[in-house]
Structure 1
């Protein structure tokens, strides 16, 4: 089976674009485990609330 949209080659970054990419990649990993846990708990709470609303509407 042939893919509907073929994969394109990943571009190589140079200069300021490469520097910006490196900086942004470092920012992604700067959350503490506590911050990650807190974010996950908030997301889970919102998800459960949304599920309750959806069940009521059905």
Structure 2
């Protein structure tokens, strides 16, 4: 059929994988910083939005 829509699943999967890897990196960085602040006994870690909600922070 000539009028059928074709999708490139490989390109779609690559984009999803890239976004998931980016999100995982943000979460891992926030977790590492939280652990470092906890080790130092710094309670400000609970007031930092970029650490509490790493996927919602700007930037």
User: Higher Cα Rg: structure 1 or 2?
Assistant: 1
For CA contacts below 8 A with separation 6 or more, give which structure has more relative contact order. 2
Please give the TM-score of this superposition, normalised by the length of structure 2: 0.45
